[in-house]
Structure 1
Amino acid sequence: MCRWTPSVIDLFPEPALGTTTTTASAGRTLPLPNAASLCLACFTLLLATAGTATGACPPGVGHEPLQVLASGINCSWTLERHTRSYNHLEGDVRLRRLYSANKFFLCIDKTGKVDGTRRKNYADSLMEIRSVSVGVVAIKSVSTGLYLAMSKKGTLFGSVKYSPSCKFKERIEENGYNTYASLRWKHGGRQMFVSLNGRGKPRRGHKARRRHPSTHFLPMLPS
């Protein structure tokens, strides 16, 4: 939304009798600004560059202060943080090994079986974590090319094709570990999490809770 900006004539009204004036190139007599007019002009320019209200500029007018002033229009735009502010994260890809608080690396073998391993450099544990939207990721095994997915019943499996079941909400918990909850499926209104139990076996999503160490994973850089 644009705000009205006072024109030069509004800022500098016709002079009173006895006021010194100067002649413009077009032959029109303009008053020399007094102190009050200068203050008003400075304040108006400050508002033009600040832009504190929510709105958008007309087509062809950018957000650079000089461009706004040159256009003769005082535009303002929002500075609030919203979803679109994070669009640069979409498509971001990280190569990580997901190390659980139970000391297992999450892995997906070529048959689609999800499991945990103690082997640090196990090929099936290297994951490609791709941001597909704000706070949502897809996890894919680099060696097998299978996506981590969760069924409606909370079972983890490796999927050949990417689908809504392969989307997980990634959240950093207070202890610095990440949790991964299914974006598509819930159980009784509760989130279902990727989880490895104390033996490194996948736990059903509806049996896992956010605070359980079995649901906590540390994305580690490959060595």
Structure 2
Amino acid sequence: MCKWKPPVVAGLCPDLAIGTAPPTLPPLPSAASVCLACFTLLLAAGTALGGCPPGGPPGGVGREPLRALAAAGGGNCSWTLERHTRSYNHLEGDVRLRRLYSANKFFLCIDKTGKVDGTRRKNYADSLMEIRSVSVGVVAIKSVSTGLYLAMSKKGTLFGSVKYNPSCKFKERIEENGYNTYASLRWKHGGRQMFVSLNGRGKPRRGHKARRRHPSTHFLPMLPS
């Protein structure tokens, strides 16, 4: 008997003729491999030009592939090895009007002669301070009524300065109890920080005698009433 074969349709590939199984297609590349291949091309182009590919690392590419690519290409792109450093420049110039109330229940004040003292009078004019951020975590404290800046000498003595200078910079830190401490940015004593401090009688203590844990160094910035 003669075995009938289906005719080949004109204009079509014989492999797609009626009665034949469709060919097996190769698997499509994954999205991750396509992204990595594109990034490799960008990195190669950036290295040839002496720079980094624009826009930072593409999404979906992990730190290890980036590290390997950077090592292979010899590039010096900072984002291949570490994150960008955050900028806090928007904090500079921030001004707050506050009264610094110590844990010893005194308000810090600066009189017109430059004397630093503590008072229990809540609305005393010389105790209203302008606290200005001069850099990240660093402030300048100025009496609103007298216009004098809080300053600390090399020996740890507090005084009011007519002009703003490096001795008027203090590192502001919020402690665990919610109070703030203010340490001189410029001066230290034996490698230890010197703090703004009022003793139990409201008198300023020498900076080298104060410690961060002492209640005399703890101040609560209070809104003026």
TM-score (norm 2): 0.68
Q: How does 1:146-185 map to 2 (within 5 A)?
A: 146-185=148-187
Per the alignment, residue 19 of structure 2 pairs with none
Q: Quote the residue 1:120 is aligned against.
A: 122
Report how far residue 94 of structure 1 moved.
Answer: 1.1
Quote the offset at 1:42 in angstroms: 5.2
- Over 3 Å counting, the alpha-carbon distance change for 1:97 and 1:77 in structure 2 is same
Q: Which residue pairs with 2:147 in the alignment?
A: 145
SS at match of 2:172: strand
What is the deviation of 1:46? Answer: 9.5
Partner of 2:91: 89
1:133 to 132, 135, 154: 135
Q: How many residues align?
A: 176
Question: Larger radius of gyration, structure 1 or 2?
Answer: 2
Amino acid at match of 2:33: L
Taking a change above 3 Å as real, the CA distance of residues 195 and 60 of structure 1, as seen in their structure-2 partners, is: same
Find 2:109's aligned residue among 104, 107, 110. 107
Aligned equivalents of 2:53 and 2:145: distance in 1?
48
Give 1:222 deviation, angstroms. 1.2
**What is the DSSP-based 3-state SS (H/G/I as helix, E as strand, rest coil) of the residue aligned with 1:209?**
coil
Deviations 1:100-135 (A, max 9, x none): 000001011111111111111111111111111121
TM-aligned CA distance change 1:46 to 1:116, over 3 Å: farther
Partners of 1:106 and 1:167 lie apart in 2 by: 16
Cα displacement (A) at 1:80? 3.8
Structure 1 spans left out of the alignment, 5+ residues: 1-17, 19-32, 48-57, 66-74
Do the aligned partners of residues 91 and 196 (structure 1) sit closer, same or farther apart at CA in structure 2, a change above 3 Å counting?
Answer: same
Q: State the Cα RMSD in Å.
A: 3.2
Whole-Å separation in 1 of the counterparts to 2:88 and 2:132? 14
What is the distance in 2 between the residues matched to 1:221 and 1:44? 58
In structure 2, the partner of 1:209 is 211
Aligned match of 2:33 in 21, 34, 40?
A: 40
Cα deviation digits, residues 151-201 of structure 1 (max 9, x gap)? 111110000000110011111111111111111111121111100011111
Unaligned 5+ residue runs, structure 2?
Answer: 1-13, 15-25, 41-50, 59-76
The two structures have a TM-score, normalised by structure 1, of 0.68
Q: Give, in whole Å, the separation in 2 of the partners of 1:91 and 1:118.
A: 30
